[in-house]
Structure 1
């Protein structure tokens, strides 16, 4: 599998897993989704908002634009239904973006500023793969918080995605 094929697969996988996660979260009682919990980002909603913010920041890095964020989350969290619409659109953007990149473009180094200070440098491929692992990491926190309600999360593992894609 080439680097491009891997990046495209992981970007599609991330969109699929996000959809499965939001399917469960949107079916949960709103007060449980926004309830303060002993977790880094306070709640299910704010954890998902953090994922969106980071995705949006990296879109700006990839496109050479300003993102306007001053932190890795925002002071106000939009309603989860609205957040899902924004995340879904951003996921679609990332899939299209990844599909359109050449192998050479995937290797291009991009220098950027972290919102909490300092500079970073990553290739386009590293950024896209980072987003896949970053989102999976936080979906794990969301799954734990769903279990506290208790609502069983839907599996979002890569092997489940691959099985479903091969069956279709």
Structure 2
């Protein structure tokens, strides 16, 4: 069972991991961020825009609102600085959202519709765990792309976050 404390920790972890990745990306040659690659979302910036779009979609699901997306591949922020600003803002929304939850609200089942049009139902906690897991997965894709520039990617693992005592209290 997901608790408020764990949800807040995971929301803070997600923001921390994004910031670590963004900082490392800013040190790459600019073409590395935008270079077309053989990957589903085309580039580092495309993959991170996918994360952002999915965060928007699931926020709408959590709020019981329509998200208005027909694809998860929209390139809403093609410039890294704008994407960082917008991703950080939604990350903070998720931290605040997690703080406002309790065991009962996290256990509540919500109906929603996938972008594909398929109807589904999940608990709020399950939705949130998907959001955290989804972004971790795709940060891994971006980290792999660092090797194309002969640069080691940053460490964004949950254990690093927890062991470096960077987790906010």
Counterpart of 1:114 in structure 2 is 114
Contact 2:2–2:106 (CA<8 Å) still a contact in 1? no
TM-score normalised by L of structure 2: 0.92
Alpha-carbon distance in 1 for matches of 2:2, 2:68 = 34
Counterpart of 1:43 in structure 2 is 43
- The CA RMSD over aligned residues, in Å, is 1.8
Counterpart of 1:87 in structure 2 is 87
TM-score normalised by L of structure 1: 0.93
Q: Secondary structure at the match of 1:22?
A: helix
Any stretches of 5+ residues in structure 1 without a counterpart?
Answer: none
Any stretches of 5+ residues in structure 2 without a counterpart?
Answer: none
Alpha-carbon distance in 2 for matches of 1:2, 1:113 = 23
Q: Which shifted more, 143-152 or 50-59?
A: 143-152
User: Where do residues 1-168 of structure 1 align in structure 2 (5 Å cutoff)?
Assistant: 3-75=3-75, 77-165=77-165
CA drift at 1:12: 1.1
Alpha-carbon distance in 1 for matches of 2:2, 2:57 = 26
Alpha-carbon distance in 1 for matches of 2:54, 2:76 = 15
Alpha-carbon distance in 1 for matches of 2:99, 2:92 = 11
Q: How many residues are treated as equivalent by the alignment?
A: 168
CA drift at 1:167: 8.6
Q: 1:167 to 1:54 in 2, by over 3 A?
A: closer
Q: Secondary structure at the match of 2:52?
A: helix
1:66-88: per-residue Cα shift (whole Å, max 9, x none)? 22111012155421110010000
Alpha-carbon distance in 2 for matches of 1:30, 1:66 = 35
Contact 1:26–1:81 (CA<8 Å) still a contact in 2? no
Alpha-carbon distance in 1 for matches of 2:32, 2:152 = 14
